[in-house]
Amino acid sequence: MIKIQNLHKTHGSGDASVKALKDINLTIEKGEMVSIMGPSGCGKTTLLQVLSGIDRMDSGEVWMDETPIHRLNDKQLSDFRLHHMGFIFQAYHLIPVLSALENAMLPILARGEPLKSAQAKAASALRQVGLEAKMDRLPAEMSGGQNQRVAIARAIAGAPRVIWADEPTGALDSESSEQIVGLLGMLNQTMNTTIVMVTHDANVAKASSRTIMMSNGRIVKSYEILGGTRS
Ligand SMILES: Nc1ncnc2c1ncn2[C@@H]1O[C@H](COP(=O)(O)OP(=O)(O)OP(=O)(O)O)[C@@H](O)[C@H]1O
Band the pLDDT of 223: cuts 50, 70, 90: confident
- Give bridge partners of residue 149 from the DSSP assignment: none
Q: Is 40 in the pocket of ligand 1 (CB under 6 A)?
A: yes
Whole-number Å distance between alpha carbons of 196 and 161: 11
pLDDT band at 218; cut points 50, 70, 90 = very high
pLDDT digits (tens, 9 = 90+) for 146-196: 999 999 999 999 999 999 999 999 999 999 999 999 999 999 999 999 999
Confidence (pTM):
0.93
Is the pLDDT at 229 greater than 80? The verdict is no
Residue ranges per domain, the chain? Answer: 2-97+139-224
How far is 172 from 90, CA to CA, in rounded Å?
9
Q: Check pocket membership of 90 for ligand 1, CB cut-off 6 A.
A: no
Residue range 82-87: average pLDDT? 95
- With 0-12 / 13-18 / 19 or more C-beta atoms within 10 angstroms meaning exposed / middle / buried, residue 103 is buried
* Cβ atoms 198, 214 nearer than 8 A: no
- Kindly report the CATH class assigned to 2-97+139-224: alpha beta
Judge whether residue 231 has pLDDT over 50.
no
* Amino acid sitting at position 62: V
Query: Residue 45: CB within 6 Å of ligand 1?
Result: yes
User: Which of 150, 196, 146 lies closest to 173, judged by CA?
Assistant: 146
- Locate all alpha helices (DSSP H) within 93-223, ordered by sequence: 100-110, 115-128, 144-156, 174-191, 202-205
Tell me, in angstroms, the distance from the centre of ligand 1 to residue 202's CA. Answer: 20
| Run of H or E including 2 | strand 2-11
Half-sphere CA count of 197, side-chain side, radius 13 A: 32
Q: Does the CB atom of residue 39 touch ligand 1 within 6 A?
A: no
Neighbours of 71 (CB within 10 A): 11
- The residue nearest atom 18 of ligand 1, judged by CA position, is 43
Looking at the chain, the whole-number percentage of residues with pLDDT higher than 70 is: 97
pLDDT for 150 = 97
Nearest CA to ligand 1 atom 28: 41
Per-residue pLDDT band for 226 (boundaries 50, 70, 90) equals low
Residue 38 main-chain phi, psi, to 5 deg: 145, 165
Does pLDDT of 224 surpass 90?
A: no
- Closest-CA residue to 48 (of 94, 106, 7): 7
pLDDT for residue 213: 96
Closest alpha carbon to 150 in 172, 170, 171, 131: 131
Nearest CA to ligand 1 atom 2: 11
